[in-house]
Amino acid sequence: MFGRFLSAEKRRQQLLGKAPEGPVRDYLAHPFPDDRQGILDTVIVSMDFETTGLDTQKDDILSIGYVELQHGAIRLAGATHIYLEAQQAIPEASAVIHRITDDMAADAGKPLSAIMTEMLDYLKGKVILAHHADIERTFLQKACKELWGFAPIFPMIDTLELARQWFDRRNMHFSPHELRLFNLRDRYGLPRYPAHNALTDALSTAELFLAQMDYIGDAHKLRLKQFLVRGK
């Protein structure tokens, strides 16, 4: 899982040659960060989505929360929470969980095309951090494919996979429940925040990642390649 960032960089170059003109090509034209650089020198964007559900074939992004990390610190001044226009009626069961209603999405929501154009520009040269990163990756790629007919890859760090690796290296049995964000935060003595708010969950993930790094120790010696998951 780790140390495969060079193949991701090669894939970026390959995709660049195939990408149509537009935001996706502009994003891919910017090199990914060097995997040999220090993790503390890397600009990391902790990101979380609230969606209408987890089926990427039919569900959509409703809100995006993100906050940057660099030099072992969370940049709260740049924390951002965005609501998107709903592309379909929000299921009642979904609204109960994330508390985003049709009216909220209509009043505060921004068009997906505008948000994704801004997001791709913002993510140039940065690494995405998420808990269970396949969700954010898949929804990002789905949105790009729907808008521009082409999906890029994204360099990502996954706090869930880091935790899984920690258990595996110690030959410790664990249940999927133990890998949930709030349970892992409990393990590191972090406070419990209300769940299912994109910005709060992005901040929760950022704090968990810093705790995971602190547990490893010698953060100034850690390299980006030790944390990256394989691009898909």
For residues 88 and 35, which has the higher predicted lDDT (pLDDT)?
35
> What's residue 1's pLDDT?
39
In the chain, domain spans? 5-229
Residue 89 is predicted with a pLDDT of: 56
pLDDT in tens, 168-217: 888 877 888 899 999 999 999 999 998 889 999 999 999 999 999 999 99
Identify the bridge partners of residue 45 per DSSP, sorted by sequence position: 68, 128
Helix H, strand E, coil C: the string for 157-222 is: EEHHHHHHHHHHHCCCCCCHHHHCHHHHHHHCCCCCCCCCCHHHHHHHHHHHHHHHHHHHCCHHHC
Question: To which H or E segment does residue 61 belong?
Answer: strand 61-70
Using one digit for the tens of pLDDT, what is the confidence trace for 75-122? 999 999 999 987 665 555 554 356 555 555 555 579 999 999 999 999
Closest CA to 134 of 36, 193, 47, 74: 47
pLDDT of residue 93: 52
- Distance from C-alpha of 50 to C-alpha of 64, rounded to nearest angstrom: 7
The model carries a pTM of: 0.90
Q: What percent of the chain has pLDDT over 90?
A: 72
Give me the CATH topology for the region 5-229: Nucleotidyltransferase; domain 5 (3.30.420)
Which residues, at least 6 apart from 140, have a Cβ–Cβ distance to it below 8 Å? Answer: 116, 119, 154
What average pLDDT does the structure give for the chain? Answer: 88
Alpha helices in the chain (DSSP H): 5-16, 23-28, 92-98, 102-108, 112-122, 133-148, 159-169, 181-187, 198-216
Dmax over CA atoms of the chain, in Å, equals 50
pLDDT on residue 95: 46
- Residue 142 clears pLDDT 50, i.e. is over it: yes
pLDDT digits (tens, 9 = 90+) for 69-83: 999 999 999 999 999
Q: What pLDDT is recorded for position 5?
A: 43
What's the pLDDT at 3?
Answer: 40
* CA distances, 45 to each of 27, 88, 92 (Å): 15, 28, 30
